[in-house]
Amino acid sequence: MSTPKENTNKAIGKNIRVLRRNRNWSQDDVASRLGISVPAFSKIETGVTDINLSRLEQIAQIFEVGVPHLITLQEERAEPQLIQLNFVQKRLQDRESEIAKLRRKVIELYEEVYIIPAMAV
């Protein structure tokens, strides 16, 4: 059975993970901003390591949130938003790709209609 302290560490770690994923940052990105190794940061995210107040303040500053936000963020509310955000980003990328293809097609058609016949004259 987990102790309250272990549960708190895990909850804070999950909150940090949600914030990191919302920004599409890797563990390496955050670890380098904190000046620590990736394994050390991974232990923070998994709740293995106790986080002192100065480290919490440093993490909060990186994510531009207050320390209370790190402690109280509800993953249940953030996770659906993250899923929806990823879905919307994927749809946007698909649409941008579709637009690029259509632009190329318009250019090809323009060249067929106006440029190639003009060269034949």
Structure tokens at 33: 């901003």
Residue 27's pLDDT is 94
Task: List, for residues 24-82, the tens digit of each pLDDT value.
Answer: 999 999 999 999 999 999 999 998 988 899 999 999 999 999 898 888 855 445 566 66
Please report the pLDDT score of residue 74 as a whole number. Answer: 56
Kindly tell me if the per-residue pLDDT of 118 is higher than 90: no
pLDDT at residue 75, rounded to an integer: 47
Intra-chain end-to-end CA distance of the chain, in Å: 86
pLDDT tens digits, 92-107: 999 999 999 999 999 9
Q: For residue 73, what pLDDT is reported?
A: 58
Within 8 A by CB and 6+ apart from 63, the residues are 16, 19, 20, 23, 70
More confident residue, 118 or 91: 91
Q: What is the pTM of this model?
A: 0.59
